[in-house]
């Protein structure tokens, strides 16, 4: 996977002190833009991607040749209309699509950084991406938005930079990672580290990668993005291209074949070490703890207009966790709207063609522009 071509990057020379205590500087931040920044520079929307996402929000990803991960929502005349808005999205630090991460080359050793990469947090990711505002000379964004881990970044951005955006749309997220989600992430990390080819993270240039472990991690995670009903409706107990059970450990059921395909496709575009670091950052996310047990203090005096969105069938970041954010915002006296979208597509609803969701985003954006 050659990510050096077809990507835009800036080199951030300003030192960034990470939460782990280490400092990075002269690091790459890869990004992509859609639409045009107007003369007033007040039409910019910063989109934050989720765990397996990247900077290629819409159109065709030039690295994978697949559609951008939010093509349903971002583009001309879509919910986030690129005829009107200038959309920016960066690959998070720790990622594997051009930003500084475990697959970057250390200029001192001329070797891949690997697990010498420092452990990072959502806070570190957001502080790194803030440099894009200075790069584009944008004093204030119109909006920040994202789903899942992207929603966590939205909350962190507003807490860190309360005067730098007019609106904020956190989608299907949480203010602190639950024990269940930490457990699920640990399952994925252990699958990767148990793969003999992981080699303590030093698998670059060895001719082999921990593809089996990463595929299993992806399979386990992918189940959590769906709902029981969507799995039943799409697959049920249907067999895979046969009339009867094979009495083996091949993929008898369609759902097994589907998950194996998801896992195998993922290893072609994602780095195993990046998966470790990014899931760790999600687990460490705890905005409540950052503000000493009072989430509303994160948004005290905020003039940002919020729109929180959750989905009925999302069991990864369920509606009660989204409502906790709404309650904290209300307690802080913030301007906040909330909607729970009826969808049977699970957590992935924010990535899919869910008309009520897309319409809600479009209406909120147009009402406040």
In this predicted structure, the answer to whether residue 107 has a pLDDT above a threshold of 90 is: no
Q: Give the count of beta carbons closer than 10 Å to the beta carbon of residue 226.
A: 22
Q: What local confidence, expressed as pLDDT, does residue 118 receive? A: 98
Q: Could you give the CA distance from residue 5 to residue 345 in angstroms, rounded to a whole number?
A: 35
The catalytically annotated residue of 81, 271, 314, 348 is 314
Residue 2's pLDDT band, with cuts at 50, 70 and 90, is: very low
pLDDT confidence tier of residue 149, bands split at 50, 70 and 90: very high
Q: What is the pLDDT of residues 288-307, one digit of tens each?
A: 999 999 999 999 989 999 99
Select which of 143, 271, 274, 347 is catalytic: 347
Mean pLDDT along residues 95-104: 97
Residue 3 pLDDT more than 90? no
239 pLDDT tier (thresholds 50, 70, 90)? confident
Query: Domain boundaries in the chain?
Result: 8-178+285-368, 181-278
Instruction: Give dist(CA 193, CA 293) in Å, integer.
Output: 34
Distances in whole angstroms, Cα of residue 49 to Cα of each of 87, 88, 171, 351? 12, 11, 11, 11
Q: What value does the mean pLDDT of the chain take?
A: 95
Residue found under tokens 């900077």: 55
Active-site residue, 99 included: no
| Catalytic status, residue 244 | no
Q: What confidence tens digit (pLDDT) does each residue in 179-219 have?
A: 999 999 999 999 999 999 999 999 998 889 999 999 999 99
Is residue 1 scored above 60 in pLDDT? no
Tell me the pLDDT tens digit for each residue of 329-350.
999 999 999 999 999 999 999 9
User: How far apart are the C-alpha atoms of 218 and 259, rounded to whole Å?
Assistant: 8
- Running DSSP on this structure, what letter comes out for residue 166? E
Instruction: Name the residue among 62, 56, 29, 57 with its Cα closest to residue 133.
Output: 29
Is residue 47 predicted with pLDDT exceeding 90? yes
8-178+285-368 homologous superfamily: Alpha/Beta hydrolase fold, catalytic domain (3.40.50.1820)
> For this structure, is 233 an active site residue?
no
Residue in 71, 104, 143, 148 annotated catalytic: 148
Rounded to an integer, what distance in angstroms lies between the CA atom of residue 272 and that of residue 97?
A: 13
Checking DSSP bridges between strand 27-34 and strand 86-90, what pairing results, if any? antiparallel
Which tokens hold the place of 1? 């996977």
Q: Which CATH architecture has domain 181-278?
A: Orthogonal Bundle (1.10)
- The pTM of the full predicted model, rounded to 2 decimals, is 0.96
Residue 9 scores a pLDDT above 90: yes
Q: Give me the mean pLDDT over the 79-92 stretch.
A: 98
């Amino acid at each position: 996977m050659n990510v050096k071509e077809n990507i835009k990057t800036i080199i951030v020379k300003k030192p960034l002190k990470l939460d782990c205590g280490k400092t990075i500087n002269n690091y790459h931040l890869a990004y992509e833009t859609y639409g045009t920044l107007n003369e007033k520079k007040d039409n910019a929307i910063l989109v934050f991607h989720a765990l397996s996402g990247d900077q290629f929000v819409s159109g065709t990803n030039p690295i994978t040749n697949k559609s951008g991960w939010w093509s349903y929502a971002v583009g001309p005349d879509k919910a986030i209309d690129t005829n009107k808005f200038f959309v920016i999205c960066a690959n998070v630090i720790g990622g594997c699509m051009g930003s500084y991460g475990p697959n970057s080359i250390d200029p001192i050793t001329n070797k891949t950084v690997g697990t010498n990469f420092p452990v990072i947090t959502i806070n570190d990711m957001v502080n790194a991406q803030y440099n894009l505002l200075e790069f584009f000379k944008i004093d204030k964004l119109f909006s920040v938005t994202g789903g899942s881990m992207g929603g966590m970044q939205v909350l962190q951005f507003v807490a860190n930079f309360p005067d730098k955006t007019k609106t904020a749309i956190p989608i299907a997220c949480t203010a602190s990672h639950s024990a269940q989600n930490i457990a699920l992430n640990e399952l994925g990390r252990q699958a990767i580290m148990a793969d003999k080819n992981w080699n303590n993270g030093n698998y670059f240039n060895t001719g082999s990668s921990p593809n089996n472990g990463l595929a299993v991690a992806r399979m386990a995670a992918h189940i959590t993005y769906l709902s029981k009903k969507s799995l039943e409706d799409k697959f049920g107990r249907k067999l895979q291209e046969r009339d009867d059970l094979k009495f083996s450990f091949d993929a008898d059921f369609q759902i097994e074949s589907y998950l194996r395909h998801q896992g195998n496709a993922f290893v072609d575009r994602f780095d195993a070490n990046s998966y470790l670091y990014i899931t760790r950052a999600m687990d460490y996310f705890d905005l409540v703890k950052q503000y000493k047990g009072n989430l509303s203090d994160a948004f005290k005096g905020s003039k940002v207009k919020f729109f929180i969105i959750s989905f009925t069938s999302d069991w990864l970041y369920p509606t009660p966790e989204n409502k906790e954010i709404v309650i904290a915002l209300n307690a802080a006296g913030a301007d906040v709207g909330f909607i729970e979208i009826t969808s049977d597509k699970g957590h992935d609803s924010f990535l899919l063609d869910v008309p009520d969701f897309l319409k809600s985003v479009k209406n909120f954006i147009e009402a406040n522009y």
